[in-house]
Amino acid sequence: MRSIAGRVVLMAGASSLIFFMWYAYRGLSPVAAQQHTPVTATRLYTGADGLTHVDQVNIKFSPVAGAPATLEKSEPVKTASSYVVRAAPGFFESWHNADKRRYVITISGRAEIEVAGGQKIFAEPGRITQAEDLTGKGHTFRVVGADDWVALFVDFAQ
């Protein structure tokens, strides 16, 4: 019994040491400081077949003039309006198109979007959806879970 407890303590100590060494190395590494996790938007678009399809697009960033190298921004998008939308749990909208090109940024809750071939994607907090399926069959939208779905809609200027 005593040797098992000793091994557990030894393993915990070794694991902690490895973790702290890795963390310190990662924090001091110039390569790690220059690499960022990609920021993506889920793009809904109408394909040549008239159906809505999904693509993941990386948002491109550039340095900000006069700012530290750790600050970047995307290309500006001209916008017409922005507003917050709230939908209750169970809300469902049958097949429809986006009425305007827009970003939809989910703030809270969870929704399911169905596109061509039954493919489903989820609108969850922090996710950016770029709705561009202005023609064709479109997509469905359903709020899933027990919470309201809340999102910021940012309409692009036409």
Q: Do 70 and 146 fall within a single domain? A: yes
Q: Verify that 80 and 127 share a domain, yes or no.
A: yes
Residues 21 and 54 in one domain: no
Residue 56 and residue 117 in one domain: yes
> Percent of the chain scored above 90 by pLDDT?
74
118: CATH: 2.60.120.10
Residue 65 sits in the same domain as residue 117: yes
Question: How high is the pLDDT of residue 69?
Answer: 87
So what's the pLDDT on residue 28? 44
Q: 48 with 26, same domain?
A: no
- CB contact at 8 A, 110 and 90: no
- pLDDT tens-digit series, residues 83-106: 999 999 999 999 999 999 999 999
Residue 154 phi, psi (nearest 5): -125, 100
- What is the pLDDT at residue 93? 98
Indicate if 86 and 104 belong to the same structural domain.
yes
| Same-domain check for residues 93 and 20 | no
Taking residues 134-144, report their average pLDDT. Answer: 97
> What per-residue confidence (pLDDT) applies to 37?
87
Are residues 110 and 75 part of one domain?
yes
Higher pLDDT, 11 or 134: 134
- Quick: pLDDT tens for 4-41: 555 554 454 444 445 444 444 444 444 444 577 899 99
Residues 82 and 137 in one domain: yes
pLDDT score for 33? 45
Total domain count for the chain? 2
Across 20-148, the runs of DSSP E, i.e. the strands, are: 40-46, 52-58, 61-63, 72-74, 79-87, 92-96, 102-108, 110-114, 120-123, 128-132, 139-144
- Does residue 46 sit in the same domain as residue 13? no
Helix (H) or strand (E) run with residue 153 in it: strand 149-156
- State whether 13 and 83 are in the same domain: no
Q: What is the pTM of this model?
A: 0.75
Residue-level pLDDT at 113: 98
pLDDT at 7: 55
Determine the structural domain holding residue 106 and report its residue range.
Answer: 37-156
Ramachandran category for residue 148: left, alpha or beta (phi over 0 → left; psi -120 to 50 → alpha):
beta
pLDDT band at 158 (very low <50, low <70, confident <90, very high): confident
